[in-house]
Chains A and B, each alone.
Chain A
Amino acid sequence: MGVAFFKGGVHPEYRKELTSSLAITAAPLPEKVVIPLQQHIGAPCEPLVEIGDHVKTGQKIGQSESFVSAPVHAAISGEVTAIGPYNHCLGRQVEAITIESDGEDNWDEAIRPVENPEGCTPEELRALIREAGIVGMGGATFPAHVKLAPPEGKIIDTVIINGAECEPYLTADHRLMLERPDEIVFGLEIMMKVLGAEKGIIGIEDNKADAVRVMKQAVGERAAIAVVPLKTKYPQGAEKMLIEVVTRRRVPSGGLPLDVGVVNHNTGTAVAVADALKKGKPLIERVVTVTGEGVGRPANLLVRVGTLVGDLLELCGGLKEETRKLIVGGPMMGLAQPTADLPVIKGTSGIVALTAEEVDLYESSTCIRCARCVEVCPINLVPTFIARAAEFEQFDRAERLHAADCIECGCCTYICPARIPLTQWIRIAKAEVLSRRKR
C-alpha cells in the first residue's frame, strides 16, 4: 500500500490494461511532420529555416532568445515544405514548420554524446538541456531548464520524478519506467546535480507494482534516491498533491514547488535529459499511448514529435465507427479535438478515443447540494459555489471562493450526480479572476 495525499480525489475507471502490458514500439518513420513553433509554455520560437531548405534529423529549426522558451528540432530529415499556421491541440492554429521526409532519416552530424556529463558544471548541464529543447513531458510543457534554474536565494533540496501517471488510460510513463529505468535514474541524478539537491524521490502509483519494483532495482544502493509507492487515486500526480505526499510539505497557495524547496519533473523528462546527455539527442521523439475503446489496436508508440495524430491512429488500426471523442492527453485533463489533423507535440502523452458508451451527453440538472464536489476537491474548494458564481458572473464572489487556486483536475465534474460541468465553470471564473488581477 502506497501513501496517499491528504484529502479528496476520485477513482475513475482506469482502463490501463488496454496498453499497460504492451512494450513500447517505435512507430515507422512518418512521411511528414508538422513541428509547431510553440509547443510549450513561454515565448514561441522563431523559425531558423525557410521553405525549400533541406533539414537533417535533430537539426535545430526554431528558437527564441527569451529565457522561458525551448528550441524545436527537425524530427525527421527532409524538405521544409511549409511554414505557417497549423492545427494545434490547444484548440487554435499555431505557426508550424512542415517537413516532408526524404525517407533517409539522416541525423545531424553535430549530434554527439556529451563527453563525461558527470564532469559538467550545473551551468553547462542547464545549457545542454535547454539546447536539447526539453520541456515538461507530462503535459504542462514548461521548459525544463527554467525549472532547473531557481531564482537567487531559493534552495532546492529535493527533486521529485513524477511516475504517478494518475490519468486513466495512459501507460506511457509506466512503460518508460519498466523499459528505461536506468535513464530515469540517470536523468534524476543530473537534475539533482544541477540544482544541488541532496534528495531524489520517484513517486509511483501502486497500481504499477512492477514499475515500483523495477525502479527500486535501478536505484539500487543509492542512498540519496527513494522510490515511493503512492496510493492509486486521481489526481495523485498533480504537482501539489505529489509534493505533499512524498515530502509532507504544502506548496503555498499561489506559490510554486520551489517555494518549498522542491522541483518536480516527469519520468519522460528524465529520460529526455538522459538521452540529451548520453546520446546528444534533442527532444524529437516521445512515447505516446494511443488507446481507448475507439482505437482498433491500442499501443504504446515511440513517436517522432510532429507526427500527425491521424497517421498514428492509422497505425493503430484506425478509429472505430462508434468513436465520439478524440482526446489529446488523458481523459481527465486532456483536450477534446475536432479533428485528427494535428501534430503530436512534446507534451502529448496520450491519444484517447472514447466511444458513445463512455461519452455521456447528459443534460445537467440543478445542484442538489450533495457536497460530493466539496469532498473530492484536493484543493479544498467549494466547486458548486464557484460554478454558480461564474454562472451569474459574480466574479468577485468567485475570487473570494479562491477560484484562482483551482488546479482543474476535473474531480468535481467527474463526481457530480447532477452532471454540472463544474470544472468548466470554474475555468471561466479562474480566467476572469486572473485577468482582473493583471489589470
Chain B
Amino acid sequence: MNGKLVISSSPHLRTIQSVQSVMLDVLIALGPVAAVAIFLFGYRALITMSVAVFAAMLTEALWLRQLNIFGDGSAAVTGLLLAMTLPPDVVWWIPAIGSVVAIIVGKQVFGGVGNNIFNPALVGRAVLLTSWGAHLVGPIWPVPKPFHFMADISAVSGATPLAGEAEALGISLNQLLIGNFAGCLGETSALALLLGGFWLLYKGHIDWRIPGGFIGTVWLMGTLFGGGFYENSVSTGLFHVLAGGVLLGALFMATDMVTSPVTPWGKLIFGVGCGLITMLIRLFGTYPEGVTFAILTMNALTPLLDKFTIPRKFGEVKQVA
C-alpha cells in the first residue's frame, strides 16, 4: 500500500449518480418532445431550441466564469424547457432574452442551482409574456407541417385549442394525443411528453405525486366545471389535460426538484395546487392558459408546504399489532 489512507465518516460507498447525470436524464426525457417538435414544425423549432439552450449555457458559464459551458447541465435543461413554452415561429431573440433572464433573474441571483425559489424557465417565460406578449400569444398560430423540415410554417395559421370553444371543437382528442395541431413547441404531443415523463418516473427523478396531483386536479376541474362543451363532461376534462401546457408543466416544470417540496405530502399538495390555479385561470381568468403562473405561485409556497408536511418519523405512532 502506497500513500495515505483516507479517513471519512461512513458510508464509504456512493451511488454513481451526480447532479450532472440527473440533468442529463432530464435532457434525455425531453428528447422525444424535441424530436416531435422538429418533426411537426421543421427548422424553426430547431432554431428556437438551439438558441434557447445555447443562450442559457453561455449566460451561466459567463456568470460563473467557468470554461465548461455544459457545467452541471442545469442551464441546458432550463434553456430547453423555456424553448418548449414558446411558439414555433417565434423570432430568434425572444428565446435568447428569455434564457438570459431565466438564468440570471430566475436562478443565479438567488445563488445558483439549488437555491432558486422559482422555476427559472418559467421566470424567463413570465418575463417574456409580460414584456413581449404579442410574440408569445395571439389568435393566430402556425399549424404543423409534418415531414417538411424546411417548411415556412407561418404561411398556414390556425388557433390553439385553448383559444375558445369553437377552436377546441375543431381538434379531436386523438389529435391532441399525437400533437398535430397548433401550439407551443413542447406542448403539442401528449404522447411524447408522457414518454419523457415515464422515463423520469422510471429513473426516480420525479415523484408521481406532483404530476398525479396536477393532472388529476385539472381533469377533475375540467370535468366538473369545464362546461361539458366537448363530447361530454369527462372528455372535456380530458381535453383540459391534453390541450395547452398541462402535461409539459406537470411532468417537466412542476417537478423541478429545486422549486418543489421534498416531502411526499408537500409534493401532492403542490401538484393539486398547480392544477387548481391552472384551471381557475383557464376557466375564470383573462388568460387562455394558466400553467405558468400556477406553477410560479406554487413555487412561492414550497417552503411553507415543506414546513408543514414533515413526515411522521418511524415509530411515532405506536402500531403494535
Whether A380 pairs with B311 at a CB distance below 8 angstroms is: yes
CB < 8 Å neighbour of B13 from A12, A362, A367, A378: A12
Contact B10 A423 (CB under 8 A): yes
Known: A368-B19, A378-B314. A321 touches B11 (CB 8 A): no
Q: A250-B319, A250-B320, A369-B257 are in contact. Are A417 and B9 (CB under 8 A)?
A: no
Q: CB distance A371 to B5 under 8 Å? A: no
Report the minimal beta-carbon distance from B114 to chain A, rounded to whole angstroms.
4
Are A369 and B5 in contact (CB-based, < 8 A)? no
Q: Is B65 an interface residue (CB 8 A)?
A: no
The reply to whether B319 and A417 form a contact with Cβ atoms under 8 Å apart is no
A368 in contact with B314 (CB, 8 Å) = no
Q: How far is the CA of A22 from the CA of B311 in the complex (A)?
A: 43
A359 contacts B12, CB within 8 Å? yes
Contact B315 A414 (CB under 8 A): no
**A336 lies within 8 A of B11 (CB):** no
Q: Is residue A56 within 8 Å, beta carbon to beta carbon, of the partner chain?
A: no
B18 within 8 Å of A (CB atoms): yes
For B152, the chain A residues whose CB sits under 8 A away are none
Question: When A338-B7, A366-B113, A417-B21 are in contact, do A379 and B313 touch as well, CB less than 8 Å?
Answer: yes
Q: How far is the CB of A328 from chain B (nearest CB, A)?
A: 11
Which residues from chain A contact B74 at a C-beta distance below 8 Å? 368
Chain A interface: which of B234-242, B258-266, B274-282? B258-266
A327 at the B interface (CB under 8 A): yes
Q: Which residues of chain B come closer than 8 Å to A323, judged between CB atoms?
A: 1, 5
Q: Can you pick out 17 interface pairs between chain A and chain B where the beta carbons lie within 8 Å of each other?
A: A253-B313, A253-B314, A324-B5, A336-B8, A339-B5, A354-B12, A365-B72, A366-B112, A366-B115, A370-B205, A371-B267, A378-B314, A385-B306, A385-B310, A414-B11, A414-B15, A418-B114
A402/B1 in contact, CB under 8 A: no
B10 touches A410 (CB 8 A): yes
**B312 & A331 in contact (Cβ 8 Å cutoff):** no
What residues of chain B lie closer than 8 Å to A354, measured between beta carbons? 12
Question: Which of A249, A254, A360, A417 neighbours the largest number of chain B CB atoms within 10 Å of its CB?
Answer: A417
Q: How far is A384 from B261 in the complex, measured between Cα atoms in Å?
A: 12
Q: Smallest Cβ distance from A309 to chain B, in angstroms?
A: 12
**Pairwise interchain contact A336-B19, C-beta atoms closer than 8 A:** no
CA distance A385 to B266 in the complex (A): 14
Q: In the complex, what distance in Å separates the CA atom of A313 from the CA atom of B306?
A: 49
Q: Which of A252, A336, A361, A367 contacts B10 (CB 8 A)?
A: A336
Which B278-321 residues have C-beta < 8 A from chain A?
306, 310-316, 318-321
Return the chain A residue nearest B309 by Cβ. A382
Given contacts A371-B207, A417-B18, 15 further A-B contacts (CB under 8 A): A252-B315, A253-B316, A319-B1, A332-B12, A333-B11, A336-B6, A365-B72, A366-B115, A368-B22, A372-B204, A374-B262, A382-B306, A382-B311, A414-B14, A418-B18
Does A247 lie at the interface of the complex (its beta carbon under 8 Å from any beta carbon of B)?
yes
CB-based contact A336/B7 at 8 Å:
yes
CA distance A54 to B264 in the complex (A): 63
A168 at interface by CB-CB < 8 Å: yes
**Per-residue interface assignment for chain B, residues 50 to 86, with 1 indicating a CB less than 8 Å from any chain A CB and 0 otherwise:** 0000000000000000000000101000000000000
Taking a contact as CB atoms under 8 Å apart, the answer to whether A369 and B258 are in contact is yes
Q: For chain B, give the interface size range.
A: 35 or more
Interface SS of chain B? loop
Contacts of B174 in A (CB 8 A): none
Q: Smallest CB-CB separation from B307: which chain A residue? A: A385
Q: With an 8 A cutoff between CB atoms, is B130 at the interface?
A: no
Q: How far is the CA of A414 from the CA of B315 in the complex (A)?
A: 23
B9, A252: Cβ atoms closer than 8 Å: no
Cβ of A12: which chain B residues have Cβ within 8 Å of it? Answer: 11, 13, 15
Whether A370 contacts B22 in the complex (CB less than 8 A), given A359-B6, A382-B263, A424-B9, comes out as yes
**Interface residue B131 (Cβ < 8 Å from any Cβ of A):** no
> How many residues of A sit at the interface, in one of the four size bands?
35 or more
Interface residues of A in 404-432 (CB under 8 A from B): 405, 408, 410-411, 413-419, 421, 423-424, 427
Contact of B5 with A326 in the complex, beta carbons under 8 Å: yes
The answer to the question of A197 belonging to the interface, with a C-beta cut-off of 8 Å to chain B, is: no
- Quick check: A249 and B11 within 8 Å, CB to CB? no
When distances are taken between beta carbons in the complex, the residues of chain B under 8 Å from A327 are 10, 12
Q: How far is the CB of B295 from chain A (nearest CB, A)?
A: 15
Cross-chain contact of B15 among A249, A251, A361, A415 (Cβ < 8 A): A415
A220 sits at the interface (CB 8 A): no
A168-B13, A250-B318, A332-B11 known; A384+B313 contact, CB < 8 A: no
Kindly supply a per-residue 1/0 record for chain B positions 1-44, scoring 1 wherever the CB is within 8 Å of any chain A CB and 0 otherwise. Answer: 11101111111111101110110000000000000000000000
Q: How far is the CA of A30 from the CA of B298 in the complex (A)?
A: 66
Chain A residues with Cβ below 8 Å from B321 are 247-249
Contacts of B313 in A (CB 8 A): 253, 379-381, 402, 405
Neighbour of B5 across the interface among A338, A361, A416, CB < 8 A: A338
**Other-chain contact of B1, A260, A320, A405 (Cβ < 8 Å):** A320
Task: Please tell me if the beta carbons of A417 and B113 are within 8 angstroms of each other in the complex.
Answer: no
B5 touches A240 (CB 8 A): no
A423 partner residues in chain B, CB cutoff 8 A: 9-11
- CA–CA, A405 to B310, complex, Å? 14
Chain A residues within an 8 Å CB radius of B113: 365-366, 368
A334 and B10: CB pair below 8 A?
yes
Tell me the bound Cα distance from A255 to B18 in angstroms: 36
Query: Which one of B112, B262, B320 contacts A249 once the chains associate, using CB atoms below 8 Å?
Result: B320
| Least CB separation from A253: chain B residue | B315
When A336-B7, A384-B262, A417-B21 are in contact, do A401 and B15 touch as well, CB less than 8 Å?
Answer: no
Q: Which of B9, B18, B74, B112 has the most CB of A within 10 A?
A: B9
Contact yes or no, A260 B5, CB < 8 A: no
Q: How far is the CA of A343 from the CA of B13 in the complex (A)?
A: 24
- The distance from the CB of A235 to the nearest CB of chain B, in whole angstroms, is 10
Residue A335, interface by CB 8 Å: yes
Are the C-beta atoms of B257 and A427 separated by less than 8 Å?
no
Give CA–CA (A184, B313) in the complex, Å: 34
Q: Which residues of B contact A419 (CB under 8 A)?
A: 14, 18
Contact A325 B6 (CB under 8 A): yes
Neighbour of B19 across the interface among A13, A408, A418, A421, CB < 8 A: A418
Residues of A within 8 A of B14 (CB): 360, 362, 413-414, 416, 419
- Asked whether A417 lies within 8 Å of B12 as measured between CB atoms, the reply is no
Contact B314 A250 (CB under 8 A): yes
Shortest A20–chain B CB gap in Å is: 18
Q: Which of A10, A338, A371, A413 contacts B262 (CB 8 A)?
A: A371
> CB-CB < 8 A to A421: which residues of B?
8-9
Chain A residues closer than 8 Å to B111, beta-carbon distance: 366
| CA distance in complex: A365, B22 (Å) | 14
Interface string of B110-152 (1 = CB under 8 A from A): 0111110000000000000000000000000000000000000
